[in-house]
DNA sequence: CACTGTCAATACGCTAGGGTATGCTTATTG
DNA sequence: CAATAAGCATACCCTAGCGTATTGACAGTG
C-alpha cells in the first residue's frame, strides 16, 4: 500500500522532509483536513514532540507542503524544457506521458487532485494552482508554436492538450490506459 | 460565498435533504474529512440533536452523500440521452458545455473533484467513480459511433473527449464560451 | 383537551487533536 | 569527561467532535 513512504531517512532521527513526505501521502489519500500532526506522528512512530521541533505549527507544515509541491511541479516541467536536444513533438510527448511513469513520489495525480480540492478552501492555494496551470499552458503553447501553428491556434491546441492531460490524470488515476499514445497523436 | 445553500427548506423544520445539501457543500469545499456533524449543525443553526434524528451516524451521511451523487451524476447524462430530438453532435456539444452552465447546485466540478479525492481513501467510492466513468465513456463512445466512427476509433475519440471535459472541469481557468466551442470542434 | 409523533435542545461521557512546557537521551566538541 | 545542543518523549491544558440519553416544544388528530 504505502511502501514508498514507509522508512524514514535511515537513521533514527527524522528530518522535516520525512514529515513532509508523510504529510503529502496523507494529503493525497485523505485531503488536507486529514493532515493532522498526531496521526502523522503515529505513522512515523514518534510523538508530536518531534513535530514541533521541526515545525512551529500545523499551519507552517501546510505552507511548506504547498511551496514544496509548487517548486517540484514547475521544475518537473522546466527540466523537460532544458532537454534542448528534443524536438517540440518529443517534448510534448514526454510531457504527456509523464503522469503515466509517475516519477514523483507516490502518485502525482492523486496529490495534485488533493491540492486542487484544497484550493477550494484556501485562496493562497488557489492562486498557486492558477499560476502553475498558466505556466504549463504557456510551455505547451510554445511547443505548438514551434510545431508551426500560429499563436492563436497554438493556444487552442495547448488548452485541449493540457485539459486532456489533466483529465487523464484525474480519471485514469487507477487505470493504465494503453492507448494513451494514440490519444497523444490525436491532439497534435 | 455560499448563498446557494443558505436557507433550509423554508419552514423551521429541517429535512435530511437539507443536511445532505450542506454536507455536499462542505465536501466540495474542504473534502470528506471536513464533513463533520457539529460544524454542519452550526451552519444550519441547529444542534446535533437534529442530525441524529435524520441520520443514524456520520457514516450513514457519507453513504447517502455518495449514492445521492451517483444517482444525479448518471441521471444528468441520461436525461441528455432522452432528448432524442438531438443529433449526436448536438448531444455531445450539450454534454461538453454542461459544466459551464452548471445546472447542478453550487459547483459540480468542485464536488466531483472532492469525491475523486475521497475515493483515494474509500474503496466503495472508488468503485462508484469507476462505474460512472465507464458509463459516461460508453455514452460518449456511442455518440461517436453514431457520427460514423467505427467502434475502435469511437472509443479513442471518446476517451480524448471525456478526458478533456474532466480536465476542463478540474483546471479552474476561465475560458470564454467561444474558446470552449472551438475546443469542442477540435475533438470531433 | 389530552394524545401521539416529529423534530430539536441539552447534558453527558469519551476520544482525538492542537499547542506548550519541561524533562530525558544521545552525540558532538572543547 | 563535562558541557552543549539536537531530537524526541511526557505531561498537561484546552477545544473539537462523535454518539447517546433524556427532555422539551410543537404540531396534528381523535
CATH of residue B173: 1.10.357.10
B179 and A173 in contact by Cβ < 8 A?
Answer: no
Residue A18 inside a domain? The answer is: no
Inter-chain residue contact A28 with B120, CB threshold 8 Å: yes
Q: What's residue A107's pLDDT?
A: 75
Q: How confident is the model at residue B6 (pLDDT cuts 50, 70, 90)?
A: very low
User: Is there a contact between A170 and A109 (Cβ–Cβ < 8 Å)?
Assistant: yes
End-to-end CA distance of chain A: 37
Q: Is residue B102 in some structural domain?
A: yes
Specify if A38 maps to a domain.
no
The pLDDT of A39-48, averaged and rounded, is 98
Is the Cβ of A182 closer than 8 Å to some Cβ of chain B? yes
Q: B170 CB near a chain A CB, below 8 Å? A: yes
Chain B environment of A24 (Cβ under 8 Å): none
Residue where the block lists cell 500532526:
A37
Please give the residue of chain B at the shortest CA–CA distance from A137: B173
Q: Quick one: pLDDT at residue B173?
A: 81
The candidate with the shortest Cα–Cα distance to A93, out of A140, A163, A149, A155, is: A140
Query: Would B39 be classed as within a structural domain?
Result: no
Chain A residues near residue B171 by CB distance under 8 angstroms: 133, 162-163, 166
Q: Give the number of domains in chain B.
A: 1
Using one digit for the tens of pLDDT, what is the confidence trace for B94-133? 889 876 555 454 577 999 999 999 999 999 999 999 999 9
CA B94, B95, B98: angle at the middle one, nearest 5?
A: 85
Nearest Cα of chain B lies from the Cα of A21 at a distance, in angstroms, of: 17
pLDDT, one tens digit per residue, over A136-188 is 999 999 999 999 999 999 999 999 999 999 999 999 766 666 788 899 999 99
Q: Chain-wide mean pLDDT for chain A? A: 88
- The domain containing residue A173 runs over which residues? 58-187
CA–chain centroid gap for B55, Å, is 23
Identify whether B15 is part of a domain. no
Instruction: Give mean pLDDT, residues A84-111.
Output: 77
pLDDT tens, position by position, B67-96: 999 998 888 777 767 777 889 999 999 889
Q: How far is CA B130 from its chain centroid?
A: 13
Q: Can you give the three-state secondary structure of chain B, one letter per residue? A: CCCCCCCCCCCCCCCHHHHHHHHHHHHHHHCHHHCCHHHHHHHCCCCHHHHHHHCCCHHHHHHHHHHHHHHHHHHHHHHHHHCCCCCHHHHHHHHHCCCCCCCCCCCHHHHHHHHHHHHHHCHHHHHHHHHHHHHHHHHHHHHHHHCCCCHHHHHHHHHHHHHHHHHHHHCCCCCCHHHHHHHHHHHC
Question: CA-to-CA distance for A96 and B86, rounded, in angstroms?
Answer: 34
Q: Please give the C-alpha separations between residue B105 and each of A125, B25, B94, in angstroms, as whole numbers.
A: 23, 9, 18
Output the CA torsion sign for A128, A129, A133, A136.
Answer: positive
For residue A41, being part of any structural domain is answered with: no
Looking at the domain assignment, is residue B174 inside a domain? yes
Confidence band of A82 (pLDDT split at 50, 70, 90): confident
CA atoms of A73 and A65, how far apart (whole Å): 12
Surface of A (84-113) touching B: CB under 8 A: 110, 113
pLDDT band at A132 (very low <50, low <70, confident <90, very high): very high
Residue A67 has pLDDT above 70, yes or no: yes
CA distances from B48 to A59, B31, B55, B186 (A): 29, 20, 10, 51
Q: Is A188 on the interface with B (CB under 8 A)?
A: no
* Strand C footprint, Cβ within 7 Å: A 36-39, 48-49, 52, 56-59; B 12-15, 41, 45-50, 53-54
Question: Which nucleotide's C1' atom has the smallest distance to the CA of A9?
Answer: D7
Look at residue A3 and tell me if it is in a domain.
no
Average pLDDT (B31-53) is 98
- The fraction of chain A above a pLDDT of 90, given in percent, is 70
On chain B, the residues whose CB falls within 8 A of the CB of A159 are: 175, 179, 183
Amino acid at each position: 500500500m504505502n511502501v514508498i513512504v514507509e522508512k524514514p531517512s535511515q537513521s533514527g532521527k527524522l528530518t522535516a522532509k520525512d514529515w513532509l513526505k508523510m504529510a503529502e501521502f496523507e494529503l493525497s489519500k485523505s485531503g488536507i483536513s486529514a493532515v493532522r500532526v498526531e496521526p502523522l506522528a503515529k505513522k512515523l512512530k514518534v510523538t508530536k514532540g518531534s513535530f514541533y521541533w521541526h515545525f512551529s505549527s500545523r499551519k507552517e507544515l501546510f505552507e511548506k507542503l504547498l511551496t514544496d509541491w509548487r517548486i517540484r511541479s514547475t521544475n518537473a516541467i522546466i527540466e523537460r524544457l532544458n532537454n534542448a536536444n528534443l524536438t517540440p513533438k518529443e517534448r510534448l510527448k514526454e510531457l504527456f506521458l509523464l503522469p503515466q511513469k509517475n516519477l514523483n513520489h507516490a502518485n502525482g495525480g492523486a496529490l495534485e487532485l488533493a491540492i486542487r480540492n484544497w484550493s477550494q478552501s484556501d485562496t493562497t492555494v488557489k492562486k498557486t494552482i492558477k499560476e502553475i496551470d498558466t505556466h504549463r499552458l504557456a510551455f505547451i503553447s510554445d511547443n505548438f508554436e514551434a510545431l508551426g501553428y500560429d499563436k492563436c491556434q497554438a493556444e487552442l491546441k495547448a488548452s485541449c492538450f493540457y485539459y486532456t492531460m489533466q483529465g487523464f490524470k484525474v480519471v485514469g488515476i487507477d487505470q493504465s490506459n494503453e492507448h494513451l499514445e494514440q490519444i497523444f497523436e490525436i491532439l497534435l
